[in-house]
Amino acid sequence: MKALINVRIFDYQNYIENGFVVFDKTILKVGKMSEFKNDGYQVIDGKGQLLMPNFVCAHSHIYSIFARGLALPFNPLNFQEILDQMWWKLDSKIDNPITYYSGIAAGSEFLLNGVTTIIDHHASGTEILGSLTSLKKALDNTLHLRSILCFETSDRYPVDECIKENVSFAKRYHTDHVTGLFGMHASMSLSEMTLKKISRKLKDLPIHIHVAESDMDEADCVAKYHTSIIERLDKHNLINKDSLIVHGVFLSDKELDIVKERKAYMVVNTTSNLNNAVGITDIKKFMDKKIPVMIGNDGLSSSMATEYLNAMYLTHLKNQSPTAMNIGHILDCINNAYDYVGRRLNIKIGKIKEGYVSDFMLLPYTPFTEMNGDNAFGHIFYGLFPNFKPCDVYVDGARLVKNYELVSKKAKTELLESRKYSKELWKRVKEK
């Protein structure tokens, strides 16, 4: 058993100015230093650092990591052209080894940013079957991260293979580190025939789908099917409890009422929406309707802290009000993600409390104004999030990042190896 001592502890609920945590795979004891007694623990002195739970990224595309540094002709006039000119060119050339190494590259970066549970939406057109297992091997077996994975079913690919990959992966993995959802790309890339097939195979597996990311998705649905996207999906009984409705920049009140009734979640990715110039998500509207909201990165950066900042600031702009959202709302989004992954992975996660998994990070922080239980999240949001880099990161009580570096030799070696696979992918993408 280990004990981290002399740490400032905050878990989005409780605050201890100078405390200790006794842990192995799970947290065994938490308290003030004045109550600490060394019962033979391996003691690690936190030297006044801040200890807090690791982050969850609620929507990502790990396969997109090798786009970094890739220059392609890129002159999109709308969202569909962004997909055509960049992402659909890239994902169609990915096979299982490239999927594995993209998992190593993106997972390592997440880890260094304190993000240790990732809900991913995977696509790889060259090899679909076995792709989620390749990603699982990188994230779970090599890096020891937690993940909830699925494959983006779409009519761009052999649909039966996409369905098989989702269903068989979700059936096979139910551990405290990994499980599956049913992935679907978006309404505009899914025919009626495909939705019927999915509906027959889905059972109670929640779906994970992009909805109304751009106005083109809704317009396509109305033109082809004379209904809104959420109504279209609901007609096929696809929206079930714990489904992830991602983006929702253009959802109507009627659609949001269905999302709420089906006990699904909204997952917002504000920075990605800005980058693609599709619009600003009205997170306040989702919250006013009491739909649980989580925050993802859409594969754009590995810093969840940046996403939390942008989600709040952009909601202010969207509503033309500096009080449309406050840091308490961001705290709700963070806690919603812990509840969600805790339920899907069957663990207690996101609190520094007895019985919870030992997934936490340490950051140097010396406040120059008073820090207490009432204002701790304010210090973190305004003081740490703009330049957030944990010094040490633990998962299951094992230190995976020490002094800003990965601890695992295997992870470091494979991270270097990933350059070879990214080069191969670039070559394939550039071939006519």
Beta partners for residue 363, in sequence order: 50
Q: How far is the CB of 375 from Zn ion (least distance, A)?
A: 34
Span of 134-142, 218-226, 260-268, 290-298 interacting with Zn ion by CB under 5 A: 290-298
With beta carbons less than 8 A apart as the criterion, state whether 370 and 383 touch. Answer: no
Which residue, judged by CB position, is nearest to Zn ion in the bound state? 298
Q: Which is nearer to Zn ion, 147 or 358 (CB)?
A: 147
Span of 256-264, 291-299, 308-316, 390-398 interacting with Zn ion by CB under 5 A: 291-299
Q: Which of 272, 222, 226, 273 is nearest to 249 (CA)?
A: 273
Q: Which is nearer to Zn ion, 119 or 411 (CB)?
A: 119
Question: Residue 38 corresponds to which amino acid?
Answer: N
Q: Which is nearer to Zn ion, 210 or 351 (CB)?
A: 210
Span of 94-102, 109-117, 295-303, 326-334 interacting with Zn ion by CB under 5 A: 295-303
Query: What is the edge-to-edge ordering of all strands in the sheet holding 115-120?
Result: 55-60, 115-120, 146-149, 178-180
Q: How far is the CB of 247 from Zn ion (least distance, A)?
A: 7
With beta carbons less than 8 A apart as the criterion, state whether 155 and 190 touch. Answer: yes
Tell the residue number behind the tokens 């309404």, with chain if given: 187
Q: How far is the CB of 15 from Zn ion (least distance, A)?
A: 34
**Direct distance between the N- and C-terminal alpha carbons of the chain, in angstroms, rounded to an integer:** 57
Q: Which is nearer to Zn ion, 59 or 379 (CB)?
A: 59
CA distance 426 to 70: 7
Q: At a CB cut-off of 8 Å and minimum separation 6, what does 163 contact?
A: 153, 197, 198, 201
Q: How far is the CB of 79 from Zn ion (least distance, A)?
A: 12
Q: Which of 225, 144, 158, 133 is nearest to 187 (CA)?
A: 225
With beta carbons less than 8 A apart as the criterion, state whether 200 and 188 touch. Answer: no
**320-326: long-range contacts at Cβ-Cβ below 8 A with a sequence spacing of 24 or more?**
324/284, 325/283, 325/284, 325/287
Span of 66-74, 234-242, 298-306, 411-419 interacting with Zn ion by CB under 5 A: 298-306
Which helix (H) or strand (E) element contains residue 43? strand 42-45
Interface map 150-179 toward Zn ion (x if CB under 5 A)? ------------------------------
With CB under 5 A as the rule, give the number of residues binding Zn ion.
1
Please spell the DSSP secondary structure of 237-250, one letter per residue.
Answer: T---TT-EEEE-TT
Span of 102-110, 128-136, 273-281, 297-305 interacting with Zn ion by CB under 5 A: 297-305
Span of 127-135, 294-302, 311-319, 349-357 interacting with Zn ion by CB under 5 A: 294-302
Q: Which of 159, 156, 158 is nearest to 198 (CA)?
A: 159
CA distance 210 to 228: 14
Helix (H/G/I), strand (E/B), else coil: 422: helix
Q: How far is the CB of 62 from Zn ion (least distance, A)?
A: 11
CA distance 224 to 163: 23
Q: How far is the CB of 189 from Zn ion (least distance, A)?
A: 13
Q: How far is the CB of 267 from Zn ion (least distance, A)?
A: 9
Q: At a CB cut-off of 8 Å and minimum separation 6, what does 195 contact?
A: 232, 233, 236, 238
Interface map 76-115 toward Zn ion (x if CB under 5 A)? ----------------------------------------
Q: Does 298 bind Zn ion (CB under 5 A)?
A: yes
Q: Which is nearer to Zn ion, 165 or 298 (CB)?
A: 298
Interface map 240-279 toward Zn ion (x if CB under 5 A)? ----------------------------------------
Q: How far is the CB of 182 from Zn ion (least distance, A)?
A: 15
Q: Does 217 bind Zn ion (CB under 5 A)?
A: no
Can you read off the two tokens belonging to residue 239?
């929206």
Q: How far is the CB of 387 from Zn ion (least distance, A)?
A: 26
Give me the residues that bind Zn ion (CB under 5 A), please: 298
